[in-house]
Amino acid sequence: MNLTLTDLAPDDPRMSADIAPLIRTLRPQLTAPAFAAFAEEAYGQGLRFTVAYDATGRGLGVATHRLLATSRGRVLFVDDLVTAPESRGRGVGAHLLAELERRARAAGCARVELDSGTANVHAHRFYHARRMTIGALHFGLDIAPDTAPVTPPDTLPVTAPDIAPE
């Protein structure tokens, strides 16, 4: 498949025409205004939007990614990797991921990393087939205004044999 990869900035009209619909297949709760606000803020924080276009100019997939300095070394972190449902299995995601690996190497990164939803077994198979390994579990704590703060208990129970109480 002949694909052209293009990086887009938030002020590019193709962001709403080409990238937003792809991202919404993964995150359907994002309205058009919410996507525009997200894209503007995230771009300012270093997020890049790389879209894969076919020969007709149709956006078939997108990777959102950024370079991070971590205690594990420099990392290219993939926030989202999405292929249009009708284009899955045609090499679009593999093409995007190969480009991200190329960029990571050029930037002196030690790794390409991403998070994948625990129920997304199709994505897990895709990543495993490309030599990616599961190196961690990603935990989150909802701190939305309507949630109660976590109150630490007086003593924390020892839940793992390698953790000794103080």
- Interval 129-145 mean pLDDT: 91
- CATH number 3.40.630.30 given to 4-129: yes
pLDDT value of residue 157: 64
Max intra-chain CA distance, the chain? 64
CA 1 to chain CA mean position, Å: 23
Confidence (pTM): 0.85
pLDDT, residue 147, reads 74
CA dist 150 and 38 (Å) reads 27
Higher pLDDT among residues 135 and 166, named by residue: 135
Average confidence score pLDDT of the chain: 92
Helical ranges in 64-160 per DSSP H: 92-106, 121-129
Q: What is the pLDDT of residues 26-57, one digit of tens each?
A: 999 999 999 999 999 999 999 999 999 999 99
Phi/psi of residue 103, nearest 5 degrees: -65, -40
pLDDT at 78: 98
* Position 152 confidence tier, pLDDT thresholds 50, 70, 90: confident
Strand partners, 50: 7, 63
- Indicate the range of 13-27, 46-60, 140-154 predicted with least confidence: 140-154
Q: Rounded to whole angstroms, how far apart are CA atoms 25 and 74?
A: 30
> Does residue 144 register a pLDDT over 60?
yes
pLDDT digits (tens, 9 = 90+) for 75-117: 999 999 999 999 999 999 999 999 999 999 999 999 999 999 9
pLDDT at residue 58 tops 90 = yes
SS3 125: helix
What is the structure's pLDDT at 164?
A: 58
Tokens 């000794």 found at: 164
42-50's contacts with Cβ under 8 Å and 24+ in sequence apart are 42/79, 43/9, 43/10, 47/79, 48/7, 49/7, 49/8, 49/9, 49/15, 49/19, 50/5, 50/6, 50/7, 50/8, 50/96, 50/99, 50/100
Q: What is the mean pLDDT of residues 126-153?
A: 86
Share of the chain above pLDDT 70, in %: 92
